[in-house]
Amino acid sequence: MRTDLEARLRTRRTEDGYLFPDYGGYCFAGVPGTALSVLDADDPTVPGPLPADVLAGVDGEYDRVLVALVDGFGLTFWQRHDHPLLERLEAAGTVSPLTSIYPSETAAALTTFHTGRLPVSHGVLGWDVYDPVDDASYEAFTGRVTAGDESVDPDLADVFAGDPLYPALTAAGIDCRHVVPFPETYEGAAVHTYGGSDEDGIGDGGDAEGTDATPPSYPLEGFESALAGAFTAADEPAFLYAYLPQIDTAAHAAGTESDAYRTTVEETLGTLERALSRIAANTADAAGETLVIVTADHGHVDTDAARSVDLESFETVLDSLERHATGEPVRYAGSPRNVHLHLRGGTAVRETVRSELADALEARVFTADEVRERSLFGDGEESAVFRRRVGDLVVCHRDQSVWYGSDSAKFELIGMHGGLHPDELLVPFAAVDLEAVAD
């Protein structure tokens, strides 16, 4: 583990205890560009690859890249757990700390991964999306409408601006395959499904906190065979992606200090370890030509329900919110660690609300102008989708949930993410030869 890099990131990107994304440097947004660069498939629309030293010690040319994304397994938790797979990754490869993007949420981070766009471009700014064009709030990956016009029925393509990477990669001759616990994924990638879920279609296993107090369960059964099947079926060059949401789900439901969480970490890492050994054994000639990347989209902070902030207890806030056509306040935008407030009444109202929240909460309250000045959601040209979805104020509590009591199920979740706490913003990036990690 490159603890020197972690120290530099913390020093350079921390402000008053909040850690900000390292866009353009050691940031999760550079993962897809790094994978493509290894395959000599650079795309000018994708953020540049990570600094070259993240691949230090990884030699040779690769015909395949496998990215295993362990949802919610942030750097703090990687360092906390002893497991043979982690030890092997550190011994045989290079493990570099990265920052996540903002928000440190799967809906935003995976959209960045699959499109090569930052949130300022793709416009997915949290698990709960409020889009005034639709006059509705809905969950980013399930499309479930939570407020406003109930006739809105968004599919995945409606949620983000831009296109997924995979049709262009396929056209360039790269075989794209996804190993995921749901039957659909992004256009252009072949799907190899494992386990099962209580959600239909594309989903975000650990982040389905808007549907119930207990996030959906995604079994690990079948992961090893699904990954082996994808690896065998793939033609070279190949870009393979394996998604493991189980740790994130356990953190939400039970917290990162629980026995359930520790058990899930052991089971998930053990499953991934066996799967890597299996594909290496079954494809011995190709094993040395495969680069394995193990990373995460975010970490977690354990919240305390007794300290959660109910925005509906602030009369000024509720009175100042924009209204749906039904007359109901526009409540649900962002997440409990990344709340977007859409306000009516202009600058004076905005400053009043901001002042009240800043006085009452241990939180950063950014105006939309400050969001832009800080490039909080990434730099580059804003999309029209981003402009209409970003809140007049964005509230990021230091370590607790801030949400609406009318959606109180979120307050029952323990592990949360989306904000700027170092435990949720720092993530690992491990790069290693398949042959070396599977020995």
Nearest to 189 by CA among 269, 243, 126: 243
Q: What token pair was written down for 47? A: 């953020």
Peptide bond before residue 237 is cis, with ω within 30 degrees of 0: yes
Q: Indicate the Cα dihedral angle 161, 375, 11, 111, nearest 10°.
A: 0
Are the beta carbons of 437 and 88 closer than 8 angstroms?
yes
Same fold, 3-120+157-302+422-436 and 128-155+303-416: no
Nearest to 210 by CA among 135, 150, 149, 128: 128
Burial label for 432, CB within 10 Å (0-12, 13-18, 19+), is buried
Cα(161)–Cα(181) distance, rounded to whole angstroms?
24
CATH architecture observed for domain 3-120+157-302+422-436: 3-Layer(aba) Sandwich (3.40)
CB contact set of 7 (below 8 Å; sequence gap of 6+): none
Q: How many CA atoms lie within 13 A of 389 on its CB side?
A: 32
CATH 3.30.1360.180 fits 128-155+303-416, yes or no: yes
Name the residue ranges covered by the structural domains of the chain. 3-120+157-302+422-436, 128-155+303-416
Ramachandran bin of 125, using left for φ above 0, alpha for ψ from -120 to 50, beta for the remaining angles: alpha
**pLDDT by position in tens, the chain (length 439):** 999 999 999 999 999 999 999 999 999 999 999 999 999 987 777 878 999 999 998 877 899 999 999 999 999 999 999 999 999 999 999 999 999 999 999 999 999 999 999 999 999 999 999 999 999 999 999 999 999 999 999 888 789 999 999 999 999 999 999 999 999 899 999 999 998 543 433 444 344 333 334 456 799 999 999 999 999 999 999 999 999 999 999 999 999 999 999 999 999 999 999 999 999 988 766 656 999 999 999 999 999 999 999 999 999 999 999 999 999 999 999 999 999 999 998 999 999 999 999 999 999 999 999 999 999 999 989 999 999 999 999 999 999 999 999 988 999 999 999 999 999 999 999 999 998 887 6
User: How far, CA to CA in Å, does 92 sit from each of 1, 107, 241, 252, 439?
Assistant: 11, 31, 21, 32, 10
